[in-house]
Structure 1
Amino acid sequence: MNKDDDQEAKAPDDADDDALADAYNRGLDLQKSGDFKGAAEAFRQALALDPDDTGGVSIRLAAMGAATSPVKMPDAYVATLFDQHADVFDDILVDELGYCVPLLLRDLFDRLGLSSFGRLLDLGCGTGLTGMALLDCTVHRTGVDLSEKIVELAFDRDVYDDLYVGEAVEFLQEFEDEDGKRPAWDLITATDVLPYLGAVEPFLSGAVMRLSSGGYLAFSTETLPDPVMSGQPYMVGPKNRFAQSEGYIRNALASAGFDILAMEPITVRLEEGEPVPGHLVAARLRIPPDAPTS
């Protein structure tokens, strides 16, 4: 989510180190004034003082072209960002930014003739917008989000059978239930998650491990025009979120063992009144030809 740069640029709430706050805020002021060299120096000072990068300065450095794009956003930054906006999350995302990807996903499933799923894993579930959109076509729903405050709001919405606080890829790789079993799901969704991930290979390999045979994966991405991407598979865009190229997503899905059912261009949200382009993707895990049949 990204309401505006001022909101996103707040120094970490728990940062009682005056030097960190000074470096961070100085970097922000210099960035806004157009002094990117000075901003980069200040942000590097902040990063040295806060290696967990609660303020997301590594993302800002990449967006300014002062550093290479990391493979994902810092977990501490994403959790802090969404915790800060939890109480107004839906108002910002839906009303101000025009976000409707969960409804677009439901419409896509209807057009693909996919009307019933057993077990849903909703990664980056937020307050439950995707869970609500898929409520009547799923039997059991599990939600996962990195923000504890956001998960509390999803719990109040009473959409999910199970809810967990966790990072999407780590959950796919490591989660075990109370019996020590590693459950599988028939559908995994990740709406508005890849703009915070960057590299998609760990996410896709985790999804492969967690999907039932022939299971489905659906997610949204953001993208940028080809001249801006300059042949890069992914990059941090000017609004401090990751953009992935269409070719990169297609190749990564094929390499991971997915057949693409649909990859449609969409407007993900509005940013300062301008549409943010992206893709809505539905794919199915390829069943090996020698797999046993029931």
Structure 2
Amino acid sequence: MAGGFDEEALAEAYNRALTLEKAGEAVEAAAAYRECLALDPDDHGGAAVRLAALGQGETPASAGDAYVATLFDQHADAFEDILVRQLGYGVPALIAERLGEIAPGPYRRMLDLGCGTGLAGEALAERAETIIGVDLSEGMIENCFDKGVYDQLFIGEAVGFLEDFDEEAPFDLVVAADVLPYLGDLDPLLANAAARMAGGGILAFSTETLPDAVFGSRDFMVGPHQRFHHRAAYVTERLGAHGFEVLSCEGIIVRRQEGQPAPGHLVVARRR
């Protein structure tokens, strides 16, 4: 036993589940993923979102802290090469461009939720006097620190950080680039962001989405690549419910997934 669970047994069950999933054996794969959850309730491997993607389990509220931290720790050193150069990810630059058009600032205090290696901080460095970043992955934070763009960096989950951060000064710019694909229910994030923001403050983030017909009656769902997709109407409705005025919600291509464009939205909202 290591790390509180039997890593060898977990690896065997997880690899078996992946093999069954690739073979199109959804029911059998789901049984193996449930074995993974029984062995590792914290779900470092993301079994819960894989079950949801297979249509074999309820959609969780988020991808889970253990899974997200493990995923990004594994890819921290190659993150920018994979995401930017191989997958064509450009959301931070798109956020910077859109803010320049409709809400240029300057800003006193920026919070970068899920800051990763600091791509958003680099893109917005000239717009904010103080930049604070938070990410679940220690490996990401280490790489981000080396860039020298952020005034403070923290290891933590976005919603928990907003709940627990003990500085009284509000943020007038909060950015969450590529965070919502790891969250389902947006109420905790939006409620806590609103509580930490000054009136007139700007919230800018990206989502991933699917055609409305795919959602059925759902507001969000886990897609085939284990990422959350949100209906645009749900996003804008929840923003309004938490005291934000939507300034812009435009369709974008977030990145490429297996050679195909991954559609999403770039959202800019103002705290009332």
What TM-score do the two structures reach when normalised by structure 1? 0.90
Aligned partner (choices 227, 246, 249) of residue 235 of structure 2: 249
For the pair 1:165 / 2:155, whether they are aligned, the reply is: yes
- Post-superposition shift, 1:273? 1.0
Question: Secondary structure in 1 aligned to 2:75?
Answer: helix
Q: Kindly report structure 1 stretches of 4+ aligned residues shifted beyond 3 Å.
A: 12-17
For 2:3 and 2:203, the matched residues in 1 are separated by 36
For the pair 1:127 / 2:117, whether they are aligned, the reply is: yes
Give the alignment of 1:186-201 within 5 angstroms: 186-201=172-187
- Post-superposition shift, 1:23? 1.2
Paired position in structure 2 for 1:174: 164
Paired position in structure 2 for 1:220: 206
For the pair 1:150 / 2:140, whether they are aligned, the reply is: yes
- Post-superposition shift, 1:124? 0.3
Question: Secondary structure in 1 aligned to 2:43?
Answer: coil
- Alignment identity in percent? 52
Deviation digits for residues 184-205 of structure 1 (CA, Å, limit 9, x no counterpart): 1110000000000111100000
Aligned partner (choices 52, 57, 61) of residue 62 of structure 1: 52
Residue type matched to 2:78 in 1?
V
**2:6/2:39 contact within 8 Å kept:** no
Paired position in structure 2 for 1:238: 224
For 2:30 and 2:103, the matched residues in 1 are separated by 50
Paired position in structure 2 for 1:9: none
Paired position in structure 2 for 1:46: 36
Question: Secondary structure in 2 aligned to 1:189?
Answer: strand
Question: Secondary structure in 2 aligned to 1:243?
Answer: strand
For the pair 1:273 / 2:263, whether they are aligned, the reply is: no
**2:202/2:270 contact within 8 Å kept:** yes
Residue type matched to 1:272 in 2?
E
Residue type matched to 2:145 in 1?
F
Aligned partner (choices 201, 207, 216) of residue 193 of structure 2: 207
**1:268/1:275 contact within 8 Å kept:** yes
Distance 1:23 1:100, change over 3 A: same
- Post-superposition shift, 1:110? 1.3
Paired position in structure 2 for 1:3: none
Paired position in structure 2 for 1:108: 98
Paired position in structure 2 for 1:99: 89
Paired position in structure 2 for 1:258: 244
**1:144/1:163 contact within 8 Å kept:** yes
- Post-superposition shift, 1:15? 5.9
Structure 1 unmatched ranges of 5 or more: 1-11, 287-294
**2:5/2:39 contact within 8 Å kept:** no
Question: Secondary structure in 2 aligned to 1:267?
Answer: strand
For 1:128 and 1:20, the matched residues in 2 are separated by 33
Question: Secondary structure in 2 aligned to 1:87?
Answer: coil
For 2:126 and 2:5, the matched residues in 1 are separated by 44
Question: Secondary structure in 1 aligned to 2:77?
Answer: helix
For 2:122 and 2:105, the matched residues in 1 are separated by 15
For 2:231 and 2:147, the matched residues in 1 are separated by 34
Deviation digits for residues 16-69 of structure 1 (CA, Å, limit 9, x no counterpart): 433222211111110011111100001101101100000000000000000111
For 1:120 and 1:148, the matched residues in 2 are separated by 21
For 1:14 and 1:84, the matched residues in 2 are separated by 19
Give the alignment of 1:18-97 within 5 angstroms: 18-97=8-87
Residue type matched to 2:41 in 1?
P
